[in-house]
Chain A
Amino acid sequence: MERGMNERIRSLRKASADAQPRLSLERALLETVAYRLYEGRVSVPELRALTFKHIMEHKEIHINDGELIVGEKGENPQTAPTFPELCCHTLDDMRVMDGRELISFKVSDGDFKKQEEIIIPFWEKRCIRAKIMEAMTPEWKDCYASGIFTEFMEQRGPGHTVGSEIIYKNGFLDFKDKISESIKSLDFAKDPDALSKKEQLNAMSICCDGIIALGRRYEELARAMAGEESDPLRRIELERIAENCSVVPANKPQTFWQALQMYWFVHLGVTTELNPWDAYSPGRLDQHLYPFYKKDTDCGIMDEYHAKELLECRWVKFNNQPAPPKVGITLKESGTYTDFANINTGGVALDGSDGVNPVSYLILDCMEEMRLLQPSSNVQISKKNPRAFLRRACEISREGWGQPAFYNTEAIIQELLNAGKTIDDARRGGSSGCVETGAFGSEAYILTGYFNLPKILELTLNDGYDSVSGRQLGLRLGRGTDFKDYAALMEAFKCQIQHFVDIKITGSNTIEAIYAKYMPEVFLSVITNDCIARGKDYNAGGARYNTSYLQGVGIGTVTDSLAAIKHHVYEKKDITMERLLKGLESDFDGDEALRQTLLNKSPKYGNDDDYADDIMREVFKYYDDCVTGRPNMRGGSYRVNMLPTTCHVYFGEVMTASANGRRAGKPVSEGISPTQGADTNGPTAVLRSASKMDHLRTGGTLLNQKFSPGAVEGPAGLDGMADLIRAYFAMDGHHIQFNVIGRETLIKAQQNPEEYKDLIVRVAGYSDHFRNLGKALQDEIIERTEQAL
């Protein structure tokens, strides 16, 4: 059965859900034309802005049947433009994307030819990926190739930011006025940067012209279509669309409908300018829309039904946009079509009061009815929010497909304050992407890559040598047998962490400098505080707050491994280090008893057992100390968060067996969740263990919980779920999400994907179709502990 509140939505949703994602070269070709016109004649920011404007003025535009919110990135739903200025795909890349079984993008024959004849010759040497690979040191490249860490910016632009209320209070003509003011205030007599600021501000103004031009084009198209429309009702809709596009994005929106359309133009602008990570998101949508909703319903031009219909139209728009095509390691770390536009509902208002309003409930209804992968729909739960809101969110979540996930408003605010934000900016903030904390509208909080903590323990036991890649990656501090006690092992482990963090951050700072110099994000700068006032680009420190993140992965695996070594090798002494190392090297070949001892007779994180949990705390604290506070190249500093997307599968692939009994090549633990199957004391014990990490020092942590459907049944099940969340958040937990699907269902779905086409599961910070996951990730989700009663 199709989902959606009426025939219009059902047919739009069906078109979105059924379409095969395709690659589109339109943007790449327009960009190439613009570069041929302008490159070398204007400054870099102006070049980027003129390119943006050229695309906005010349891309094909359509209004599809029944649409109320208009605008697509590509020609059709599920069409993905490419970004050759970042990653110039080889023909092989394109063949792989076209042919691969999962996360495929179909490429037309004509596009292969255009890629070969036009795109590759022009962009091959110009693209950022080539510049990055040239700038990186051999040791960085070795670590990257061996899976010590990943690199977020080699195929996608920096982004990791979220919209604020600013676009509902200003049209782009208003932004142009602010830009002119800023240009007027430049002091060419004293400020050595005045010229580069002027170029940047000019460029911003050009971007405003670009997005305004797109709006005008949609206005004209809608009017022309209205003139030819025979259905009188549709004609009126098209006229209204034309009217909306005559107001936004040039001017600030006046109605609920225009507010939704305004954001959508901005979304298209940000994600067409570049392919930034985590796309873009309206963020605190219920807070932004409520004034429009109240005004329109009070004066009777809209009712709840129409408000919901408009929301559902926009939900489809989000779902129409697959994540930019990825290849190689970038695909491994983020193997999904989902692009993480993450809407936060609930939380607190700007004055700190309960933020739940009628639009919050409307969004929950929309989420439940649409059941789409995108947007990632989540709730912020504040201690001030009514229990009815929390219970309603739990009701939807226990249906089993992972939305909404739950974020802790008070923790987010404390995290932001701890990172130096003002209380106002903290209250405007939330979680984006998977779980990343940000001051929405004012912060560039750029994720730089995942960091493989268990792999570093593996190297620590092997004198820094990586037997999988055959490279000496780490420091030569001795083998496992050389450490006289647990403290010596831990000391060596910490030195290795420091060593690899140094390599990673040195590389990331170089990459930040490359982006600042060659790849400004001018349009994004227009709508991010305080880029206009500073005359600086988003990628060069123009935002009010500039943070860089390094995401730790595998804390469960590394904790359990250290706990097993401490317990068996150094304390109980029932396993010798020689035997352990031999077992790990050989993947326990011939010594299953060793593996079973490590699995069954060792303390494990996730059971509220201080023996293991204290080790988790120590590793986390050291990792955090190594990273947090180190300066980035944008005037801000580095911080940590703890999330994996799909990287825990990739990081496991590059590892030998580990001392927690994990076999070689198998996934490591995800987020801050316990190792799959290691937590046997129920959900409260998991939450207690997880809360022993100091979440407030991070920029977000990710905790998965899997429940059997029976465990959340009935009023007691629902209340239990709500109380678990409240208690975890009282202990400063940052985030929790639920899968409510029986193990047997997952196994059946793996065997008969055709019969379970619609089965959606929570992966890590996002939901995905189970059939779209690789076998290793499917297995990992099946192996996660199922909390039953």
Chain B
Amino acid sequence: MITNIQRYGIHDGGGIRTVVFFKGCPLRCKWCHNPETQSFKPQTAVYPERCAGCGACKAVCGKTQDECGGCGRCWDVCVYGAREGAGRGISPEELANLIAKDMTFYTYSEGGATLSGGEPMAQDTAFLCELLARLRNMGIDAAIDTCGAVPWERFEAALPFAPVFLYDFKTLDPALHKAFTGHDNALILDNLKRLCEAGANVKLRVPVIGGVNDVDEQRRMAEYAGNLPLSEVALLPYHNTGSHKWRRFGMAAPDCEFCTPSKERMDEITGIWEKQGFNSVSIGG
């Protein structure tokens, strides 16, 4: 199930990319900026400021947002755009064809598709493998933006298609990881190690969250990663861009506040990673 297909992505893998946001994630990061991709079920977003009070939605479905099963009827009947859906099923074939629309752009930019979310690796494995096979057959480069918190077998199944893994590395501290994502990081670190051993193309993505993984933690993370056969890291400074989304989907926003790291702090952290031999890029600074 996907929530969105975003074309012209230029920060999620090389070149111009079509980014597919899958629905469903094993983690519950408190800084998540796509909260609608956490649940594996469809959800309804409500925009009260657009609502004209016409009652069309109530006429087709009596449920409140909390009770919403994602049937989608209110999305169709609301002409004011006050109710929009997140989450629709799609076949690997249809998805691959949608991705292929921007083939010319991939050709000229050495771009491709980035599977993101949510957690693409948490989707049905057969679906994922068929999608990857179709992309490979069309000559479209695939990258998978993953949190790593899925059983190893899922990665193993994807390996033959040689995608690039954009692998999230949030913190080395298991307790911290558990506190902020709901999971410790043992499985994540293990999968990372195994991917490296299997010779997969892995690029780290490190969200820099002020108040969570600051300079000292970054130093530990960089040292750890420096011992793995990795050479690229993308540093993503935290931005408070997702907070309105929690509200729209009727979800309770986590009760913590994070800081956006300053440019000086980002420079310092970049230096830490480069000292460990990483090519680093900062995205969205």
Please report the C-alpha to C-alpha distance between residue A726 and residue B283 in the assembled complex, in whole angstroms.
24
With both chains docked as a complex, state the minimum distance between the C-beta of B71 and any C-beta of chain A, in angstroms.
18
Given A592-B52, A682-B6, A723-B15, 16 additional A-B pairs, CB 8 A: A596-B52, A600-B79, A684-B18, A684-B102, A688-B102, A716-B283, A720-B8, A723-B105, A723-B108, A726-B109, A727-B107, A727-B109, A730-B104, A789-B8, A789-B9, A789-B11
* Cβ-based interface call for A472 (8 A): no
Evaluate contact between A683 and B8: CB separation under 8 angstroms.
yes
Please report the C-alpha to C-alpha distance between residue A684 and residue B7 in the assembled complex, in whole angstroms.
7
Evaluate contact between A597 and B79: CB separation under 8 angstroms.
yes
Evaluate contact between B7 and A593: CB separation under 8 angstroms.
no
Q: If A592-B52, A723-B15, A727-B108 touch, does A682 touch B81 (CB 8 Å cutoff)?
A: no
Contacts of A744-789 to chain B: CB distance below 8 A: 787, 789
With both chains docked as a complex, state the minimum distance between the C-beta of B276 and any C-beta of chain A, in angstroms.
22
Which A residue sits closest to B98, measured CB to CB?
Answer: A608
Instruction: Please tell me which one of the listed residues A600, A681, A789 contacts residue B80 in the complex, with CB atoms under 8 A apart.
Output: A600
Which A residue sits closest to B11, measured CB to CB?
Answer: A716
Evaluate contact between A593 and B54: CB separation under 8 angstroms.
yes
Instruction: Please tell me which one of the listed residues A596, A600, A685 contacts residue B7 in the complex, with CB atoms under 8 A apart.
Output: A685
* Cβ-based interface call for A601 (8 A): yes
Contacts of A690-737 to chain B: CB distance below 8 A: 716-717, 719-720, 723-724, 726-727, 730-731
Q: If A596-B79, A596-B80, A601-B79 touch, does A727 touch B10 (CB 8 Å cutoff)?
A: no
Proximity bits, A373-407, B CB within 8 Å = 1, else 0: 00000000000000000000000000000000000
Please report the C-alpha to C-alpha distance between residue A443 and residue B81 in the assembled complex, in whole angstroms.
51
Q: If A723-B16, A723-B108 touch, does A684 touch B81 (CB 8 Å cutoff)?
A: no
Q: Which 5 A-B pairs have the closest CB atoms?
A: A723-B109, A720-B10, A682-B8, A682-B7, A597-B79
Which A residue sits closest to B110, measured CB to CB?
Answer: A723
Contact-residue bracket for chain A: 20 to 34
Evaluate contact between B108 and A600: CB separation under 8 angstroms.
no
Residues of A close to B107: CB separation below 8 A: 727, 730
User: How many B residues, CB 8 Å from partner?
Assistant: 23
Residues of A close to B81: CB separation below 8 A: 596, 600
Contacts of B88-128 to chain A: CB distance below 8 A: 101-102, 104-105, 107-109, 111
Residues of A close to B104: CB separation below 8 A: 727, 730-731
Please report the C-alpha to C-alpha distance between residue A681 and residue B10 in the assembled complex, in whole angstroms.
15
Residues of A close to B283: CB separation below 8 A: 716
Please report the C-alpha to C-alpha distance between residue A726 and residue B111 in the assembled complex, in whole angstroms.
13
Instruction: Please tell me which one of the listed residues A597, A684, A716, A789 contacts residue B105 in the complex, with CB atoms under 8 A apart.
Output: A684
Please report the C-alpha to C-alpha distance between residue A435 and residue B255 in the assembled complex, in whole angstroms.
55
Which B residue sits closest to A712, measured CB to CB?
Answer: B10
Which B residue sits closest to A600, measured CB to CB?
Answer: B81
Residues of B close to A596: CB separation below 8 A: 52, 79-81
Residues of B close to A723: CB separation below 8 A: 15-16, 105, 108-109, 111
Please report the C-alpha to C-alpha distance between residue A593 and residue B50 in the assembled complex, in whole angstroms.
12
Contacts of A576-604 to chain B: CB distance below 8 A: 592-593, 596-597, 600-601
Residues of A close to B101: CB separation below 8 A: 608, 684-685, 688
Residues of A close to B111: CB separation below 8 A: 723
Which B residue sits closest to A681, measured CB to CB?
Answer: B7
Which A residue sits closest to B105, measured CB to CB?
Answer: A727
Proximity bits, B1-36, A CB within 8 Å = 1, else 0: 000001111110001101000000000000000000
Please report the C-alpha to C-alpha distance between residue A242 and residue B10 in the assembled complex, in whole angstroms.
55
With both chains docked as a complex, state the minimum distance between the C-beta of A599 and any C-beta of chain B, in angstroms.
8
Evaluate contact between B52 and A593: CB separation under 8 angstroms.
yes
Please report the C-alpha to C-alpha distance between residue A592 and residue B52 in the assembled complex, in whole angstroms.
9
Evaluate contact between B7 and A730: CB separation under 8 angstroms.
no
Please report the C-alpha to C-alpha distance between residue A600 and residue B102 in the assembled complex, in whole angstroms.
24
What are 29 of the A-B contact pairs (CB < 8 Å)?
A593-B79, A593-B80, A596-B52, A596-B79, A597-B79, A600-B79, A600-B80, A600-B81, A608-B101, A684-B7, A684-B18, A684-B101, A684-B105, A687-B105, A688-B101, A716-B11, A719-B109, A720-B10, A720-B16, A723-B16, A723-B105, A723-B108, A724-B8, A724-B16, A727-B16, A727-B105, A727-B107, A787-B8, A789-B9
Residues of A close to B6: CB separation below 8 A: 682
Residues of B close to A688: CB separation below 8 A: 101-102
Residues of B close to A724: CB separation below 8 A: 8, 16, 105
Evaluate contact between B7 and A719: CB separation under 8 angstroms.
no
Residues of A close to B16: CB separation below 8 A: 684, 720, 723-724, 727
Residues of A close to B9: CB separation below 8 A: 789
Please report the C-alpha to C-alpha distance between residue A789 and residue B239 in the assembled complex, in whole angstroms.
14
Which one of A593, A720, A731 has the greatest number of beta carbons of chain B within 10 Å? Answer: A720
Please report the C-alpha to C-alpha distance between residue A597 and residue B8 in the assembled complex, in whole angstroms.
28
With both chains docked as a complex, state the minimum distance between the C-beta of B249 and any C-beta of chain A, in angstroms.
20
Contacts of A179-216 to chain B: CB distance below 8 A: none
With both chains docked as a complex, state the minimum distance between the C-beta of A328 and any C-beta of chain B, in angstroms.
40
Please report the C-alpha to C-alpha distance between residue A681 and residue B11 in the assembled complex, in whole angstroms.
17
Which one of A687, A716, A731 has the greatest number of beta carbons of chain B within 10 Å? Answer: A716
Residues of B close to A719: CB separation below 8 A: 10, 15, 109
With both chains docked as a complex, state the minimum distance between the C-beta of A264 and any C-beta of chain B, in angstroms.
39
Residues of B close to A592: CB separation below 8 A: 52
Please report the C-alpha to C-alpha distance between residue A717 and residue B6 in the assembled complex, in whole angstroms.
16
Evaluate contact between B79 and A720: CB separation under 8 angstroms.
no
Q: If A596-B80, A608-B101, A727-B105 touch, does A717 touch B10 (CB 8 Å cutoff)?
A: yes
With both chains docked as a complex, state the minimum distance between the C-beta of A620 and any C-beta of chain B, in angstroms.
20
With both chains docked as a complex, state the minimum distance between the C-beta of A545 and any C-beta of chain B, in angstroms.
32
Residues of B close to A726: CB separation below 8 A: 108-109
Residues of B close to A717: CB separation below 8 A: 10
Please report the C-alpha to C-alpha distance between residue A351 and residue B80 in the assembled complex, in whole angstroms.
57
Contacts of B265-285 to chain A: CB distance below 8 A: 283
Evaluate contact between B79 and A716: CB separation under 8 angstroms.
no
Residues of B close to A601: CB separation below 8 A: 79
Please report the C-alpha to C-alpha distance between residue A592 and residue B82 in the assembled complex, in whole angstroms.
14
Residues of A close to B7: CB separation below 8 A: 681-685
Residues of A close to B18: CB separation below 8 A: 684
Which one of B18, B81, B102, B104 has the greatest number of beta carbons of chain A within 10 Å? Answer: B104
Please report the C-alpha to C-alpha distance between residue A696 and residue B117 in the assembled complex, in whole angstroms.
40
With both chains docked as a complex, state the minimum distance between the C-beta of A580 and any C-beta of chain B, in angstroms.
14
Instruction: Please tell me which one of the listed residues A593, A684, A730, A731 contacts residue B8 in the complex, with CB atoms under 8 A apart.
Output: A684
Please report the C-alpha to C-alpha distance between residue A592 and residue B16 in the assembled complex, in whole angstroms.
39
Which A residue sits closest to B6, measured CB to CB?
Answer: A682
Which B residue sits closest to A729, measured CB to CB?
Answer: B108
Which B residue sits closest to A688, measured CB to CB?
Answer: B101
Which B residue sits closest to A720, measured CB to CB?
Answer: B10
With both chains docked as a complex, state the minimum distance between the C-beta of A358 and any C-beta of chain B, in angstroms.
27
With both chains docked as a complex, state the minimum distance between the C-beta of A736 and any C-beta of chain B, in angstroms.
13
Please report the C-alpha to C-alpha distance between residue A789 and residue B16 in the assembled complex, in whole angstroms.
12
Instruction: Please tell me which one of the listed residues A608, A682, A720 contacts residue B109 in the complex, with CB atoms under 8 A apart.
Output: A720
With both chains docked as a complex, state the minimum distance between the C-beta of A782 and any C-beta of chain B, in angstroms.
19
With both chains docked as a complex, state the minimum distance between the C-beta of A417 and any C-beta of chain B, in angstroms.
23
